[in-house]
Every structure is written in structure tokens, then in C-alpha cells.
Amino acid sequence: MAVTRETAAAVRDVEQYKYGFVTDIESDMAPKGLNEDIVRFISAKKNEPEWMLEWRLKAYRHWLTLADEEPTWAKLHFPKINYQDSYYYAAPKREKLASLDEVDPKLLETYKKLGIPLLEQQMLAGVAVDAVFDSVSVATTYKKKLEEMGVIFMPISEAVHKHPELVKKYLGSVVPYTDNFYATLNCAVFTDGSFVYIPKGLRCPMELSTYFRINEKNTGQFERTLIIADAGSYVSYLEGCTAPQRDENQLHAAVVELIALDDAEIKYSTVQNWYPGDADGKGGIFNFVTKRGACRGKNSKIMWTQVETGSAITWKYPSCILQGDNSVGEFYSVAITNNRQQADTGTKMIHLGKGTRSKIVSKGISAGYADNTYRGLVRIGAKADGARNYTQCDSLLIGDKCGAHTVPYIETRNPSAVTEHEATTSKISDDQLFYCMQRGMNQEEAVSLIVNGFCKEVLQTLPMEFAVEAQKLVGISLEGSVG
Amino acid sequence: MALLEIKNLHASVAGKEILKGITLNLEPGEVHAIMGPNGTGKSTLSNVIAGRDGYEVTKGQVLLDGEDVLAMAADERARAGIFLAFQYPVEIPGVTTSAFLKTALNAKRRAEGKKEIDAMDFLKLVKAKTAVLGMPYDMIKRALNVGFSGGEKKRAEVLQMTMLEPRVAILDETDSGLDIDALKVVSDGVNSLRSPDRAFLVITHYQRLLDYIVPDHVHVLANGRVMATGGKELALELEAEGYAKYLETAA
């Protein structure tokens, strides 16, 4: 009943706020800028219940108070973003093209290099062909199977309606709307994302992926993902497609929240390849992402693996809050920056429970004029008896115009805790390149091989299909970095 | 026409002339040994042929089957069939010997217009080649040259050579740092690759290696020039008398 009332209220909201935007609604685009009406507009577009709208508005009002709190501590340089100069709800439909012939051949060349099958190329390019529908029905088949097992896997906008009790309980419980400038903005204006619930004791038999879902419903730049693994369950989730986005300097401020209850395990893998801008640093995505997982239950485990090759600017620290006794957090990262790209990325491992363990393996690769920073925090709370952390940060430099920086923070409030930190910085040597080339590899193959070797420990934590793609991506993103 | 022709080759490093007019002809099937004291340009010669950066060829030619080698990039030379067994093989952390071999082999196959070798065929091939060379197969699972002993590194070089089947193989002081057992394994490997259509240029300091890899021709290199050429007996003579007389002549 409550839901019905809320829906009715939402409908009223739609009626109420639609007048100002008549033409815009038809073109499926909110006016430029950000204000409460825009937040209401987005909520109305999603036909959201009142409580969801209220939450968004709370976040928005809080965000207004943060005007001077846009984070500046990261080693990143970019012009101040004018938040009134963007669209917060643009039609998610991309331009529909009649066939692959109309797609930029350079884009297709990249897909080919990535080994993405033709069908997926068509999907990624937004080509309206029948095959896409075939593929959607394939996805639906899986969905049905998953449903039978009790897995909930759907757009978060749909979950708001179908599973409001779960969304209400967990949304914002790991990343509250007051968390940080970008996360707060996301709370106010998020457009869509994934919702996953794995029921008690179920080992989800297939990798869940945004791959097909994103194609099914082109989500915006403010994604919101919420994954809950109930007691004793397991899920492996893959995020992001490897398609380069063609967008110009755009803000991408996603929030991901993971919750692992007793004995549950979540493995979250990302391959991020948003458009990095051109060689001179023009264009590209500003990727300001808040990802955090809570190991709420005892013996729970959250493992983040990320391969970050895209974006002009990456600001991202997938973290674990280790609340449950004997819970485990792991973070494996490869961050590649080339040309004028900048990345400030790492993790936070917050040990609260007894016997909690965390492991951090970070591989940063810089080429061109790029800057790459590992920034990490290991915090051991007073009650975290016997907590352990192992951190390994390796940086690889290609050329002499780029930078690698390591900023590890360790705070221990428990004398029984053990933390270890190892860091190395190395360069691809001329000797290594010549050696590979003397065996017949061209320079790009040689760089790709050497860098893949450097990242191996991280790449091998990815699910098989993803690992192959990631290896190729490593090579592609460093093309032209030597000589 | 010789398989590899080196004609009046002059090369400098940082403005200093190291090679002062080298002429050599390697016919298919031949093994040529180059001997000489330290610092006379032996390694420079191998690096110039293989195309390492930092060497400037000021005069002369290197031709492979009549093709201008010096006009090619290092990787093109390799794919054309020039193989250099390194004096100091380079470590490639995280890259298994197997992955390295496969990448190299496929680069060559692509250049020859063949399709890439599939994983099963590749493993069969490596298995066969390691068996012939008497090497432990498990070696290919280790990161290339990382933590390898001196002997293992040189064996890995020979394994690569065996897989890539070059036209011309240059061995740059392959015997350095090897004990007698390792020397024998490596030499056996090289000997098994001797064939009527392949030529070897064996660069060494000591005659010892040439007891195992018996050359057809021996050249003495001193002060950037070939000072003498002879048969395998020349190596024995050098072992007995040293390089003194060639250095005097050069000076």
C-alpha cells in the first residue's frame, strides 16, 4: 500500500514539474544547470516514489553546502568545473545509426583490436539492428534463470519500485549522501545503475555484468550501483564495457556500494576505458568515482580488481570497511596513464573487526606526460586485534616526461596489528625493448608484453574472459608511448 | 651470393670509430668464429648487425640475401632471419618464457603471412624442442631470465633460436659465464641447428667454445679490423700465442 501511495505521489510530482520542461521532455533532456527542479525532474523521469525523491533532495541541499569542499588534495590538475554548465539528464538514447558503415572506422578498428565480436560492436556503437534485440533476449534468458534462483539483478531504477525495502535499507548505508562532494552530487542526480541481491547461501553460478544491461538501457554519467550479498553467498560482478566513449570533457561521478553479510563474498572487477582525451589532453572523461564495500558480516570478503586505462582524470579509491570479525578486503589495481592523462587512485582499508585482513597490490604505469599517483590508507582500529595488512605498490615509467607517485597512509591504533608496505619504481629499459625487438616483436608488441608482465599479478585476478580483454587493452592504451 | 655479406663496415659509438672497415662473407651452412681481445669491436659488430640503438654506421653495407639490412629496423631484421644470442640476456619480469616465445614466434609467422600458431600446437612444439635440447620443460613456465642461472639464461637463448629458426645466428660470447657442462649443453644445441641453409657467426674470447662448435673459418678481430683469417687451426694458434702480434701490427 505504501508503495502505491508513493507512486501516486510521484505521478503528482511529474504532473507538477513537467510544465516548465514541456519541450524538453519531448526531447528527453533537462535544461542546462542544476537546481532542485532538475533533481525533481530526474526523479519524475524515473517515476520515483516520494522517499527516493526526498533522499535526492536531502543530498542536493547538502551538496549546496559543500561548494567550497570540492576535493583538492589529490595530485590532479584540471580547470574548475562549472556545475551549472552541464546537463544532468540527457536522453540516454544515443544517436541511432542504420548500420556499422556509418560508424567511425577508427572506433571499429579499436573494437576489432579488442576482439569484441561483431554483434557486440553493433551494440556498443548503438546501431539499431535486429541482432541487438536477439541479444537482449539472450540476456533475458539469463535473467529468468537468475530469478528462479532468487537472484535480483536489475536496473536500480527498477529496484526502487520492485524492491523498495532492500533499496531503502542499503542505499547510502556504505556511502552516505554526506560522504564527499562527488558522491553527494551523485546521490542527488544519479540516473541509473545496477542493483544486485544474492540470497542466503547461494553461490551465483555466472558472472554478473553490466555489459548487456548498459546496452539495453544506456545509463548516464551518474551511475549508482548497489550489490548485497546475503549470508553465505558469493557473487562475481564485472563492471564497465571496454568501449571507448567518444564524449568530450565530461564528468562521470559514479557511486558503487557493496555489502557482504556473514560469510559472504563479493568479487568486483572493473575494466575502465572511458575516452582519455587526445594526445594534447583535449577532451576526455573526468572520472570521479566513489566505490566502497562493507564487510558487515563475520568472515566476509570483498575483493576489488580494477584496470583503469581510460579517462582524462581518474579519482577513485575502491575501499573496504572490515567490520565483521575475520573479514577480508583485497584491492588489485592496474592504472595506466599515457599522454596527458592523470590518475590519483588507490584504496582505503578500514579494519574495525578482530582478525581482519587486507591486501593491496597496485601497479601504476605512466607514459607520455602523464601523472600517476597511488594514494592509500590502511587504518587499524583499536578493537581490530590481530589485524593484518600487506601493501605492495609498483610503478613503471615509460619515457622521462611522466611521473609516478606513491602516497601510503598507515594509521594503527592496535598494537597487535601487523602492516607491511613494499614499493618499487622501475622503467622499461632500452635493453628490454631491444631484446624483444631482436626476437621480431615490433615496439608496440614489446611494450605491451613487458607491461602485461608487470601487471600480471593483478590481471590474473580477473575472470578469464575479462583478463584476455584487459591484456589487449593494456597494449592498446600504451600505443605510441615509446619512440 | 653469400647469405650474409658485410662490406667495409665502419661504425662509431658516441663519435668514436670502433669498426674500421670489416668485410666478411658468410655462405649458407658455414660457421664463422670471430676472436679477439677485449674492446676490439666484437660486440659492436653483433649489435650493429642486429640494429641496436646507439651505433652509427658511417660507411659500408650489411646484406642478407642481397637485402640491405642496415635500412631495416631491429624487429624487421629479426623477422628477416637475423638472430642474436645475447651475451647478457635480459630479464622480463612477469612474462613467462612460454608467453615470450609464443609472441616472438607469432610475430615471425605473421611476417611470413602464416596464421598464428594455436596454443596446443605451440605447446607441442616447445615440448619437442626442449626435449631435443635436453632442457627441463618446466623452464618455460618461469618468467624469462628472471632468477635464471648463467647456464639457464644461455640455454633459454638457444631454445629461442631453435624455435625461431633464423637464417643467420650470431652468438655473442655465449660461452661467458658457463661451466663445462652448461657449455656442452649449449654447444650441442647450436650444433643441432647447423644446417646447409643457415650460417653462424660465433663471437668468442676463448678457443674453448670452438672445441664444441667447430668453425669453418676463424677471423681475428683487433682494433676494429679483421687482422687474420684462417681455418679452425688459427684458433688453436691464438690460444697458444695470444693476440699480441695482431695488436702490434694494428698499432
Residue owning grid cell 541482432: A131
**B53/A430 Cβ within 8 A:** yes
Q: Which residues contact B168 (CB under 8 A, 6 or more apart)?
A: B3, B4, B26, B64, B81, B82, B83, B198, B199, B200, B201
Q: State the pairing for strand pair A342-351/A313-316.
A: parallel
Indicate whether A331 pLDDT > 70.
yes
**A440/B75 Cβ within 8 A:** yes
Q: Which of A394, A439, A457 to mutate to test the interface with B (most CBs of B within 10 A)?
A: A439
B246 CA to chain A: closest CA distance, Å?
32
Please, where are the H alpha helices in chain B? 42-50, 74-80, 97-111, 119-133, 150-164, 180-193, 208-212, 233-241, 244-250
Dist. CA A13–CA A1, nearest whole Å:
18
Indicate whether A135 pLDDT > 70.
no
Contact A298, A327 (CB under 8 A): yes
Hey, what amino acid is at A263? D
A405 class by beta-carbon count within 10 Å (0-12 exposed, 13-18 middle, 19+ buried): middle
DSSP 3-state of A212: helix
Dist. CA A46–CA A220, nearest whole Å:
13
CB nearest A450 (choices: B83, B89, B95): B95
Indicate whether B28 pLDDT > 90.
yes
Indicate whether A276 pLDDT > 90.
no
Indicate whether A93 pLDDT > 90.
no
Measured between alpha carbons, how far apart are the two ends of chain B, in Å? 34
Determine the average pLDDT of the residues in A186-209: 89
| CA–CA–CA angle B164, B167, B171 (5° rounding) | 80
pLDDT number for residue B240? 85
Ramachandran angles phi, psi of A129, nearest 5°: -130, 160
Q: Which residues contact B113 (CB under 8 A, 6 or more apart)?
A: none
Hey, what amino acid is at A352? L
Q: What are the chain A neighbours of B161 within 8 Å (beta carbons)? A: none
**A453/B94 Cβ within 8 A:** yes
Q: What are the chain B neighbours of A439 within 8 Å (beta carbons)? A: 78, 100, 103-104, 107, 160, 164
Determine the average pLDDT of the residues in A350-371: 95
A109-123, A342-356, B104-118, B127-141: the lowest-pLDDT one: A109-123
What percent of chain A has pLDDT above 70? 78
pLDDT number for residue A126? 40
Most confident of A13-22, A100-109, A184-193, A385-394: A385-394
Hey, what amino acid is at A192? D
**CA nearest to A483 within chain B:** B53
Determine the average pLDDT of the residues in A165-193: 93
Binned at pLDDT 50, 70 and 90, residue A134 comes out as: very low
**A438/B50 Cβ within 8 A:** yes
Dist. CA A417–CA A357, nearest whole Å:
10
Mean pLDDT of chain B, nearest integer: 92
Distance of CA A162 to the CA centre of its chain: 24
Hey, what amino acid is at B244? A
- Measured CA distances, A277 to A222, A245, A281, A285, A445 (Å): 19, 10, 5, 7, 23
CB nearest A439 (choices: B51, B73, B104): B104
C-alpha cell at A196: 544486485
User: How would DSSP label each residue in A96-155?
Assistant: PBSSGGGS-HHHHHHHHHHT--HHHHHHHTTB--HHHHHHHHHHHHHHHHHHHHT-EEEE
pLDDT number for residue A389? 97
Indicate whether A105 pLDDT > 80.
no
Q: Which of B83, B103, B112, B144 to mutate to test the interface with A (most CBs of A within 10 A)?
A: B103
Determine the average pLDDT of the residues in A112-138: 40
Indicate whether A365 pLDDT > 80.
yes
Q: In what order do the strands lie in the sheet with A328-337?
A: A208-209, A234-239, A265-272, A301-308, A328-337, A357-366, A388-397, A418-427
A85-89, A324-328, A459-463: the lowest-pLDDT one: A85-89
CA neighbor of A345 nearest in space, from A313, A373, A387, A309: A373
DSSP annotation of A5 = H
pLDDT number for residue A474? 83
Domain spans, chain B? 29-50+74-250
Q: Each residue of B170-206: pLDDT tens digit?
A: 999 988 878 888 888 889 989 999 999 999 999 998 8
Q: What H or E segment, with its residue span, contains residue A448?
A: helix A443-459
Residue owning grid cell 576535493: A71
Dist. CA A174–CA A256, nearest whole Å:
9
CB nearest A435 (choices: B77, B90, B111): B90
pLDDT number for residue A53? 96
Q: Which of B92, B108, B109 to mutate to test the interface with A (most CBs of A within 10 A)?
A: B92
Contact B128, B137 (CB under 8 A): no
The class level of CATH for B29-50+74-250 reads alpha beta
pLDDT number for residue A250? 72
A314 CA to chain B: closest CA distance, Å?
26
Q: In what order do the strands lie in the sheet with B67-68?
A: B16-26, B4-13, B56-64, B67-68
DSSP 3-state of A444: helix
Ramachandran angles phi, psi of A126, nearest 5°: 70, 30
CB nearest A453 (choices: B84, B93, B111): B93
**B84/A449 Cβ within 8 A:** no
CA neighbor of A269 nearest in space, from A305, A316, A323, A314: A305
Contact B203, B171 (CB under 8 A): yes
Dist. CA B178–CA B193, nearest whole Å:
20
A454 CA to chain B: closest CA distance, Å?
6
A78-92, A120-134, B34-48: the lowest-pLDDT one: A120-134
Dist. CA A237–CA A225, nearest whole Å:
11
Q: Which residues contact B153 (CB under 8 A, 6 or more apart)?
A: B89, B145
Element counts in chain A: helices (H) and strands (E)? 14, 19
Binned at pLDDT 50, 70 and 90, residue A28 comes out as: low
With an 8 Å Cβ cutoff, the interface of chain A facing chain B consists of 429-432, 434-443, 445-446, 449-450, 452-457
C-alpha cell at A62: 547538502
Q: What are the chain B neighbours of A453 within 8 Å (beta carbons)? A: 92-95, 143
**B143/A430 Cβ within 8 A:** no
Determine the average pLDDT of the residues in A273-278: 78
CB nearest A439 (choices: B73, B78, B99): B78
A431 class by beta-carbon count within 10 Å (0-12 exposed, 13-18 middle, 19+ buried): middle
C-alpha cell at A180: 564527499
Binned at pLDDT 50, 70 and 90, residue A252 comes out as: confident
Q: What are the chain B neighbours of A445 within 8 Å (beta carbons)? A: 103, 107
A460 CA to chain B: closest CA distance, Å?
11
Q: Greater confidence, A362 or A19? A: A362
Binned at pLDDT 50, 70 and 90, residue B33 comes out as: very high
**CA nearest to A396 within chain B:** B93
A72-86, A104-118, A283-297, A437-451: the lowest-pLDDT one: A104-118
Locate the DSSP E strands across A164-249. Answer: 194-198, 208-209, 224-229, 234-239
Indicate whether A6 pLDDT > 80.
no
Mean pLDDT of chain A, nearest integer: 80
Q: Which residues contact B150 (CB under 8 A, 6 or more apart)?
A: B177, B178, B182
Binned at pLDDT 50, 70 and 90, residue B243 comes out as: confident
Q: What are the chain B neighbours of A450 within 8 Å (beta carbons)? A: 92, 95
DSSP annotation of B180 = H
Where residue A161 falls (left for φ over 0; alpha for ψ -120 to 50; beta otherwise) is: alpha
CA neighbor of B26 nearest in space, from B210, B169, B213, B238: B169
C-alpha cell at B71: 635500412
Determine the average pLDDT of the residues in A266-287: 83
**B160/A440 Cβ within 8 A:** no
Contact A117, A468 (CB under 8 A): no
Q: Greater confidence, A371 or A220? A: A371
pLDDT number for residue B236? 87
What percent of chain B has pLDDT above 70? 98
DSSP annotation of A179 = S
Ramachandran angles phi, psi of A323, nearest 5°: -85, -45
Q: What are the chain B neighbours of A431 within 8 Å (beta carbons)? A: 90
C-alpha cell at A25: 521532455
DSSP 3-state of A60: helix
**CA nearest to A457 within chain B:** B94
Dist. CA B220–CA B234, nearest whole Å:
9
pLDDT number for residue B22? 95
pLDDT number for residue A239? 79
Q: Each residue of B51-90: pLDDT tens digit?
A: 999 999 999 999 999 999 999 999 999 999 999 999 999 9
CB atoms within 10 A of CB B22: 23
**B78/A437 Cβ within 8 A:** yes
Determine the average pLDDT of the residues in A369-380: 94
CB atoms within 10 A of CB A285: 25
Determine the average pLDDT of the residues in B154-159: 93
Q: Which residues contact A26 (CB under 8 A, 6 or more apart)?
A: none
Dist. CA B69–CA B66, nearest whole Å:
9
pLDDT number for residue A19? 23
Q: Which of A394, A395, A435 to mutate to test the interface with B (most CBs of B within 10 A)?
A: A435
Q: Greater confidence, A7 or B30? A: B30
DSSP 3-state of A71: coil
What percent of chain B has pLDDT above 90? 74
C-alpha cell at A421: 608496505
Q: What are the chain A neighbours of B51 within 8 Å (beta carbons)? A: 437-438
Measured between alpha carbons, how far apart are the two ends of chain A, in Å? 67
**A457/B103 Cβ within 8 A:** no
Q: Greater confidence, A409 or A280? A: A409
**B99/A437 Cβ within 8 A:** no
